[in-house]
A and B are shown apart, each in its own frame.
Chain A
Amino acid sequence: MSYPLSHKTVFVLDCSPAMERPCGHQFEMDSLSKGRSSGLIPLAPVTKTMWTCAVEAAVEYCRIVWDIYPSARLIRLIANGAQAVSVNDWTAADQHLTTLMQQLAGVMGGVRSAGSQHSLHAGLAAALHALGEPSEAQRADRAADAAAKVMNRGRVVVVSQLADDGQARRLREWFADALLQHNRTADGAAGRLTVHSCELVLVSVHPDTAECGVTPRPPAPLSAILSGSVVTAKAGTQLAPMMMNLVLSHYELASTTVTGIPMKEEQNSGSSANYDVELLHPAKAYESILQGSPADHAHLRTRRDGCEYETITLKWCTPRTSSAELHQCTSASRVTPVDVNSRPSSCLTNFLLSGRAVMLEMPRRSGGKFVSHMLAAHGGEIFMHALGSGRSVLEDPPSVSEGAGGRVTDYRITEFGRLVSDNRLAPGEASEEGGVPLHAALERLARHTRVWPMTLSESCLAALPSLDSLTALLVKDSLSTDEVLECKKAVYNLVSMEARHEPLPVTTSGARGRGVKREEQYRALWSELEALVRAHCRSDGHQAALECVLECRSQGRAAEERLGLDQAMEELDRCGAPVQDSPLSPPPTKRWRRDRPPAQLSLLEMWNQRVDADNALKRLEFSGRLNGGDNNIVKLYAKLDKDKGDEVKK
């Protein structure tokens, strides 16, 4: 495992009496109660100490890093007073702004150095010690593989008032020696890591009113494993922007200014004015867009007052897209506003956090503009999506309807849509057997698709809406007693359908055309049903369902000889399914002559039987026939004859 230099950073904040001196930059306080203070004694301006400036700048550095790299980029603060006091730890819990602020307040009082024997060595030694401590990730790596070499690198930033170049040089030399010494002892020690590479940044601050005695030095190697640089800054006005420069170069960040953000005026709510907000983000957000010679995109870059870095200006585009659209995005980077509490910044962040997305336009050098980025928040974090620009190699793709299978029209799209919504993913808990949730999802998908005809014409079963409940139940992992009953109900329903010779919904296309007999359709349906249930046979409940299907099917076959309708009806009654006959339909006994096995029927009889059945559906049977005796022969006008007879008798 290799860890980047920015994995670990240690700040050594000097707390010497020199740093307790005022920074020389005054904050005016009188204007705060303006308008009410006529004739009052003006308030004295306040001045921060250099220590306050240093802490503020370091905290701002942490804020930016932790917003953009919520994990794996760790920072520790060490206050160097009479002794070195470590403010926080490498643990994930400590790598957070709120926690850090509390910890800072906690140690603040105890670290002040009293005397003249003050030295930065204690702080530097503590910083080295901190770099030698494994971070949580490194510890996990070592635990996973004890033999693996963990590349341990880090950076030390020292903020102090240095007297002259000589002091800076002595500090660097002392640190280089201490680093070698540390690596010698760390080699064998448990729980200690060798520091393979280190960068020492000496930040010399001085009051705004004083002159600086130290010359800045660009980063240069000091030894094989150590490089160093010196920067200087006026504590009051320059330290914070300088820290911003450092954080940009240390973490390869870039700055983007979103311009033209329309905002309602505070004073005059009717009007709106345009504001700019500067954001920081990893430089990779521009990786694919800004390449080639720097002159090509010089028109985008501007430099803000007092900053060494350049910012790229993109224009706010009034949002119109819906989130349900997938943009061609090449990278997504976390962002953080430079001035987090300013009104325009908080306005933009709140707008984004409320769930809306903002498109950003980049002007072309040749004129015109294109949408290059999108700002959007996901789960409370704001991301800058770099969008694909320029020509795509996928232009003018063929339509799906032009490819294989494109001319088939009876795909079961609706049912597949249901399959999609039934197989959605959600964060889950690992099961007790140690299986990851994704395996469970894969298993479920496999269950759902075990038997899944793609087109309607491919399957009789799929075309029958009354069996949907059955298929929905069968894909379950196991079936409860009630669910088994449901399955059986569906099967018996099918039996009764067949018994009533209900026509199946036949698809006109495909192999099963018009000419296919109803019996054959049912036979195909039954074999398809059996295959379906057999494929899903994975629990006792499924076994019960399968047995039910097999039973009904064998009876169905027998019924071809003896039409065992009664039994089917009985079974249907037994499981409580409503008989689906209309009250107007004649009793089934009239339609089916069970005393005559169909095998012995002549063609004429079969024809008659069918005509009778059809007729029976069309009109009510004459009640006289129903009550009639043998051979259903009834004498008409019996009463007339009877009356006539009576008269004759008289």
Chain B
Amino acid sequence: MEENKKKNDLILIGVLLMVALAAYFCISFFQGANTKNGVAVVTIDDAEYGRFPLVVDTEERIELPDGSYNLLVIQDGKADVTEASCPDGICVNHRAISKQGQSIVCLPNKVVVEIENGEESDLDAVTN
């Protein structure tokens, strides 16, 4: 009985590992395409706050009505959150992003920085 349970535990762990691995491969298949003219799109609570082209170095202090903030820095073609008021600091620890579909999310502040393709994707550039 107990032995059976131990065996089932191991099967469960194996299945979960496989699910995680499968999810990882699916995701890396869809993510990580390099972008030309990438734009960092900032949304707060699902409302667009601003669009920042990665080619232009800037610093933007994203202020929320309740006094909390996130500091977005665009440098060397990458977007990064370097400072924030949130309690967990997860957005600050996140590494800089530059590829399409990558995002930095500050869940407590509901701030999302997501990389989107600029107007021209590789394909458009060719046909143009």
Chain B binds chain A = no
Binding site for A on B (CB under 8 A): none
